[in-house]
Structure 1
Amino acid sequence: MNHRLEKLSGWLKHEGVELAMIQDPANLFYLTGFECEPHERLVALFSFPGEEPFMILPELEMDRLKNSGWTHGITAYGDSDNPWHIIRSLLADRKLLSFQRAAVELEHLTYARAQSLLSLSPEAKLVSVSTHLGAMRVIKDETEIRAARKAARFADMAVETGIAALKPGCTELEVVARIEYEMKRQGIREMSFSTMVLFGKKSGDPHGIPGTQPLQEGDLVLFDLGVIFDGYASDITRTVAFRSISEEASRIYETVRKAQEAALAQCRPKTPMMEVDRAARQVIAEAGYGAHFPHRIGHGLGISAHEYPSLHGKNSDHLSEGMIITVEPGIYVPEIGGVRIEDDLVITADGHQVLTRFPKELQIVK
C-alpha cells in the first residue's frame, strides 16, 4: 500500500474501526490517484486495519482505475447489477458482515447509501473519517506544491486573458468565455469552480453570477477564478477598473490591498489562523468599511478549491509548514461595487511563498 493508505489503515486500527468506505472523489484521488466523476453510480474504496483494500466501481471505469496505478483489489459491476449485493459477498469473505464500527465521510454519504451500508450489519455504528482525512490532506508534499504552483501560473494567465478581453459593451459571460477558451487552448481541462466575472455594481455581490451585464466606463471588474492542474486547484481574485475610477472606489481598493498586506504579514508557522483574519479586518474596520467585509479571510486549497482549514476570526488552530491557503479580503458596497484581492500561498518553514503572481497595484484598463 502507498503511505496514504497505510496511514488510513493505521488510523482505523487505532480507533477500533473495522472498515472505512470512501466515496468523495477528492479523497479517492488523494488516496489512490484515481480521478473520476461517478455521477449516480457507486465508486468506493473499502479500507481495513492491517488488510488489503479494494475498490468497487462500474465496469466502464475499470480500465481507467488500472491505468491510474491501482494495484489492489478491484471489483467491477454492470449497470444491471446491485453493487451492495457484491459488497455483502466481499465482506462475508473477510468475515466482516458483523462489523461494529464503519468510518464514512458523513458530509458526503447519502441517506440511501448509509441505509445500504447499515443493512449489511444493522447494529453497526457509523463514525466520521472526514476530520482525519482533512488532517492528512492539509499538509502538502513537494509533488502537490509543484502542481499547485503550476495551477497558480495558469490562474495568473487567465486573469490576464480576462483583462485583455475588456471592451465597451462586452458582457460578463463573453469575458468568461474568452478566459475558459484560452485555458482549454493551453491544455487545461477544467476550471476549479464556475468562473466569476462581475461588472459595476454586480461586483458588490461576493458570490455573484455572471450574466449579460454590459461593461461601461467607470465599472469595477472583479475576476474570481482558478484552474485544475494535475488534480490540484488554484483560486485567484483580482479587481480592476475600466477606463476610470471614482475617488471612493479607489479608496476601497487601496484599503483592501493594505488589508491583504497586513494579513499576509501574519502568514507563518505557529500563527493562530484567527490572527490572519483579524489583521485584515482591523485595517478594513479602521477605514470605515468593517460592515462591508462579510466573509472569512481565506480557506485551504488543494485537490478541492475549498478545503480545510477555514481561516476565520475564531479559529485558534495554527498555520503549519506545507499548508496551502488563500488570503482574500474584500469590501462590498452595493451602490459602488466590490473589491476583492485573493492570492494562493504555501506556508514555508520561515514564512510563506505567494504562488499567484498577477500584479495587485490598481489597474485602470484603457
Structure 2
Amino acid sequence: MGTIYEARRAMLKSYLSENNITAVMITAPANVFYFTGFNSDPHERFMSLFIDMHTNNTYLFVPALDKDAALLVSDITTIIPISDEQIPFEVVRESVGEISKTVGIEAKALSYYLYNSLLEFFPGVQVVDVQPFINKQRMKKSKEEIAKLITAIEIIEKVLEEGIKKVKIGMSESDLTGELEFLMRKFGADGPSFSTIVLTGEKAALPHGSPGERKLQKGDYLLIDFGVIKDGYCSDITRTFIIGEASEQQKEIYDIVLRSNEAGINAVQAGVPLKTFDIEARNVIIANGYGEYFNNRVGHGLGIELHEEPSIHQNNEQIAEAGLVFTIEPGIYIPEVGGVRIEDTVYINEDGKVEVLSSFPKQLQIL
C-alpha cells in the first residue's frame, strides 16, 4: 500500500516521462512537503527532492541538522544529509552521477545562484519549468487535505471567538495581536500562517496594514485578518467588528461588503470561469457606489501555502473545477476613514457545488 506522497510522485513522474524530462529538482519547501511529507524551512541551506527518471532513483537532500526529522516523517528511502561545510551540488553530483539533457525546476523557487551551481556541476543540462504542472496538481485538494484545512479553520475560529472577548477600549492593536497569537498556540496551532493583521479605526482602510500602538476607541472599525498552520495546512479568515456603536455609514458599508461576500460565494460552482466569482462580488460593491474602494482580487487559493493557485481575479478565464479551495474576501477601504473586509474559505466539492468551510458568524457584531 503506497503512501499519498508516493501517489503524488507517480503523477509527477508520468508528467516527466511524457515530456521527456530526464530529472526533476524540487526546491520549494511547500512542494518538497507535498511530495515527501517532510515539512521544513531550510532557510539559506539547500534542500531538494531529486528524481532521476533515467535510473528511477529518488533522493531527498536535506541540511544535516534536519536528517533525523526527515527520516521520521518522509517515505523517501534515500535521504542524504548535507553539512554546512559541504558544497551542496557537489553532494548532489556525487549521489546522482551524470545527468544529461533536461532537468525540471520550479522557476519561481530556483534562485540565480542555485541555477548557476546546477550548471557548474551538471554542464550541458537544460532547465525546464515544471511549476505550472505542480501548481495544477496541488490545486485539486484531496479529502485528506480538506480535512486538514477544516482543522486549521476550526482552530482560528475558536481563537476569534475567544479573542474578541478580550477586546477593550484603550487596548492597542499590538496588545490584541499578542492575545490572539497566544490563543493560537493554546488551541493547538503550529503557529500563525502569516503575520496577524489587527487594524483599528482609519487604519482598517489598509488592506495589508500592520498592527501598531493605535488604541481602540469607541466607534472604531476593528478588522482582524489572521490564520494558523496546523499539520502543514493554512487557514485564513477576516472579520470586521465595530467598537461601542456603529454609525449609519459603517452599517451601510458593512452591509454592502456582506452582500458582496455572499454574491461571490453564491456564484461559486464548477464549469464556469474563475473570474465569475470576482465579478459577481465586485458588481455588488460597484452598484452601491463604492467600486473605487475595492481595488484587489476577490480571493486566492489556500492550502499548504497561504497564497497558492488559483487566483480569483476578474480576468482569470480558467474554468473552475471540483477540488479547488480558495477565499472570497471582498472589501471596501476608504482612506482616512476605515474599511471592512469579510473573508471566507470555500471548496468546490465533487458534485461541482460550493461548500463554505468557514462558519464564523457574519452579521455585524458591535463589541
Q: Which amino acid aligns with 1:84?
A: F
* Residue aligning to 1:88: 93
Q: Does 1:14 align with 2:15?
A: no
* Residue aligning to 1:113: 114
Task: Tell me the CA shift for residue 9 of structure 1.
Answer: 1.2
Write the deviation string for residues 114-160 of structure 1: whole angstroms up to 9, x where unpaired: 10001123332211111111001011111100011111111211222
Distance 1:320 1:134 in 2: 14
Write the deviation string for residues 170-194 of structure 1: whole angstroms up to 9, x where unpaired: 0001111111101111221211100
Task: Tell me the CA shift for residue 82 of structure 1.
Answer: 1.3
* Residue aligning to 1:316: 317
2:360 is aligned, of 350, 358, 362, to 358
* Residue aligning to 2:28: 24
Distance 1:18 1:323 in 2: 30
Distance 1:325 1:281 in 2: 16
Correspondences of 1:123-138 after superposition (within 5 Å): 123-138=124-139
2:84 is aligned, of 76, 79, 98, to 79
Moved more, 44-53 or 320-329: 44-53
In structure 2, the residue corresponding to 1:364 is in which secondary structure? coil
Task: Tell me the CA shift for residue 353 of structure 1.
Answer: 1.1
Correspondences of 1:186-205 after superposition (within 5 Å): 186-205=187-206
Write the deviation string for residues 10-44 of structure 1: whole angstroms up to 9, x where unpaired: 11111111111111111011000001110111111
Correspondences of 1:305-344 after superposition (within 5 Å): 305-344=306-345
Q: Does 1:66 align with 2:66?
A: no
Q: Does 1:155 align with 2:156?
A: yes
Distance 2:79 2:36 in 1: 12
Distance 2:262 2:82 in 1: 53
Is residue 190–residue 231 contact of structure 2 (8 Å, CA) maintained in 1?
no
Q: Which amino acid aligns with 2:43?
A: H
**1:48/1:7 CA distance change after superposition, 3 Å:** farther
Q: Which amino acid aligns with 2:13?
A: S
Is residue 268–residue 277 contact of structure 2 (8 Å, CA) maintained in 1?
yes
Distance 2:42 2:143 in 1: 29
**1:350/1:125 CA distance change after superposition, 3 Å:** closer
* Residue aligning to 2:44: 40
**1:66/1:187 CA distance change after superposition, 3 Å:** same
Distance 1:169 1:13 in 2: 62
* Residue aligning to 1:300: 301
Is residue 152–residue 355 contact of structure 1 (8 Å, CA) maintained in 2?
yes
Distance 1:178 1:186 in 2: 12
Distance 2:64 2:122 in 1: 26
Task: Work out the percentage of aligned pairs sharing the same amino acid.
Answer: 37
Is residue 60–residue 76 contact of structure 2 (8 Å, CA) maintained in 1?
no
Distance 2:96 2:71 in 1: 22
Q: Which amino acid aligns with 2:301?
A: G
Task: Tell me the CA shift for residue 355 of structure 1.
Answer: 1.0
Distance 1:267 1:223 in 2: 25
Task: Tell me the CA shift for residue 79 of structure 1.
Answer: 1.6
Q: Which blocks of at least 5 consecutive residues in structure 1 are unaligned?
A: none
Distance 1:117 1:72 in 2: 23
In structure 2, the residue corresponding to 1:281 is in which secondary structure? helix
Task: Tell me the CA shift for residue 49 of structure 1.
Answer: 2.5
Is residue 10–residue 49 contact of structure 1 (8 Å, CA) maintained in 2?
no
Task: Tell me the CA shift for residue 361 of structure 1.
Answer: 0.3
Is residue 221–residue 241 contact of structure 1 (8 Å, CA) maintained in 2?
yes
Give TM-score, length-normalised by structure 1: 0.96
Distance 2:231 2:79 in 1: 24
Is residue 162–residue 176 contact of structure 1 (8 Å, CA) maintained in 2?
no
In structure 1, the residue corresponding to 2:191 is in which secondary structure? coil
Task: Tell me the CA shift for residue 101 of structure 1.
Answer: 1.3
Distance 2:214 2:269 in 1: 41
Query: How many pairs are equivalent?
Result: 361
In structure 2, the residue corresponding to 1:308 is in which secondary structure? strand
Is residue 100–residue 121 contact of structure 1 (8 Å, CA) maintained in 2?
no
Write the deviation string for residues 241-284 of structure 1: whole angstroms up to 9, x where unpaired: 00111111111110000011111111111121111000011110
Task: Tell me the CA shift for residue 350 of structure 1.
Answer: 4.1
Write the deviation string for residues 65-114 of structure 1: whole angstroms up to 9, x where unpaired: 1100323212112221112111112232xx42xx2211111111111111
Q: Which amino acid aligns with 2:35?
A: L
Give TM-score, length-normalised by structure 2: 0.96
Is residue 197–residue 211 contact of structure 2 (8 Å, CA) maintained in 1?
yes
Distance 2:53 2:277 in 1: 39
